């Protein structure tokens, strides 16, 4: 598949941590997954009622979702030695990533479940550091969530990249936690996060859901300035958080001129 065609087929600004409680009773939405052997996998898509088949490589496979091509990553890089690779300009790592987005923002989503937000609309910088952004569930029995530091032992989350979105799906303790980050096509700097919790067994229960994203700008100097990027951002940028009718809003305030 042509990568440029794939990205063209796709068709604000800051989020801070919040905590809510949800009482879960009946199943309102469900996705089922069944294995058809090492050569293919199938699953049911409730929104369309169709079954999608995808060839599977060592790490995952291509398929279709809502009429768009998607790649689903099934591998567990924590134990698979083939996941280790050398990016040349950095130490060897098992982290793999890709960027999707629009003319203003790009999100860099990785196989560890994290998402960084890259700003090209105003200047070249990270609005949030790479591999941040997560959903965490707590119910008195410990915490688990969508990033690799919170994955339950023995659970391999399903990670799916679409043309303008990234989804992590984690099943654990009779619940399925599904976090989707959208970066819609166009000129508007929107980043949308949808979190779904689906009970898969047991009775009603109360859990605490925490959605987190670190506001941590990092600038790109292309070798023109010696100061570390984190230091420049800490000296020049502050965030003021307020509660408004639409929710929590973080506004960026600049201190002095950055010369960029």
Would you list the domain boundaries of the chain? 3-216
**C-alpha–C-alpha distance, residues 29 and 48, integer Å:** 12
3-state helix, strand, coil in the chain (%, to 5): 10, 45, 45
Token pair, residue 54, equals 């995808």
Structure confidence at residue 205 as a pLDDT band (50, 70, 90): confident
Q: pLDDT over 70 for what percent of the chain?
A: 69
Q: How far is CA 229 from the centre of its chain?
A: 23
Structure confidence at residue 132 as a pLDDT band (50, 70, 90): confident
User: Nearest 5°: phi and psi at 231?
Assistant: -65, -40
Structure confidence at residue 247 as a pLDDT band (50, 70, 90): confident
29-33, 157-161, 210-214: the lowest-pLDDT one:
29-33
Predicted pLDDT at 201: 84
Predicted pLDDT at 9: 40
For the chain, the average pLDDT equals 75
Checking if the pLDDT of 141 tops 50, the result is yes
Q: What is the pLDDT of residues 3-30, one digit of tens each?
A: 444 334 433 333 333 333 333 332 222 3
Q: Tokens 């294995």 map to which residue?
A: 35
Checking if the pLDDT of 50 tops 90, the result is no
Checking if the pLDDT of 178 tops 70, the result is yes
Predicted pLDDT at 225: 58
Mean of pLDDT values over 136-149:
87
Residue 53, C-beta contacts closer than 8 angstroms, at least 6 positions apart: 36, 40, 41, 42, 63
Give the helix/strand (H/E) hosting 134: strand 134-138
Q: How far is CA 1 from CA 49, 52, 69, 88, 131, in A?
A: 26, 18, 10, 26, 27
Q: How far is CA 82 from the centre of its chain?
A: 23
Mean of pLDDT values over 168-173:
94
Which of the two residues, 3 and 246, has the higher pLDDT score?
Answer: 246
- Say if residues 125 and 217 touch (Cβ distance below 8 Å): yes
Q: What is the pLDDT of residues 51-103, one digit of tens each?
A: 444 556 889 999 999 899 999 999 999 999 999 999 898 899 999 999 988 88
Q: Beta strand pairing status for 125-128 and 40-45?
A: unpaired
Structure confidence at residue 257 as a pLDDT band (50, 70, 90): low
Which of the two residues, 23 and 136, has the higher pLDDT score?
Answer: 136
**C-alpha–C-alpha distance, residues 114 and 132, integer Å:** 5
**Starting at the edge strand that comes first in sequence, how are the strands of the sheet with 125-128 ordered?**
97-101, 105-110, 115-119, 125-128, 218-219
28-32, 100-104, 144-148: the lowest-pLDDT one:
28-32
Token pair, residue 195, equals 């979190």
């Amino acid at each position: 598949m042509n990568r440029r065609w794939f990205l063209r087929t796709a068709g604000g600004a800051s989020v801070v941590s919040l905590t809510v409680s949800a009482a879960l009773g009946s199943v309102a939405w469900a996705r089922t997954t069944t294995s058809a052997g090492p050569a293919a996998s199938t699953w049911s898509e409730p929104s369309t009622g169709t079954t999608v088949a995808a060839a599977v490589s060592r790490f995952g496979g291509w398929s279709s979702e809502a009429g768009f091509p998607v790649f689903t990553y099934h591998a567990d890089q924590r134990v698979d030695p083939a996941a280790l690779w050398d990016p040349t300009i950095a130490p060897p790592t098992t982290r793999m990533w890709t960027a999707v987005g629009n003319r203003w923002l790009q999100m860099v989503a990785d196989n560890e479940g994290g998402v960084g937000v890259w700003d090209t609309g105003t200047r070249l910088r990270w609005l949030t550091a790479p591999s941040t952004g997560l959903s965490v569930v707590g119910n008195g029995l410990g915490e688990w969530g969508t990033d690799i530091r919170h994955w339950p032992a023995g659970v391999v989350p399903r990670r799916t990249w679409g043309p303008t979105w990234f989804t992590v799906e984690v099943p654990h303790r009779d619940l399925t936690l599904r976090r989707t980050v959208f970066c819609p096509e166009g000129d508007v700097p929107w980043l949308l996060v949808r979190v779904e919790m689906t009970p898969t067994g047991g009775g009603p229960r109360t859990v605490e859901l925490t959605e987190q994203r670190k506001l941590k700008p990092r600038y790109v100097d292309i070798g023109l300035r010696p100061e570390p990027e984190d230091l420049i951002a800490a000296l020049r940028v502050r965030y003021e958080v307020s509660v408004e009718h639409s929710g929590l809003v973080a506004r960026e305030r600049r201190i002095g001129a950055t010369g960029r």
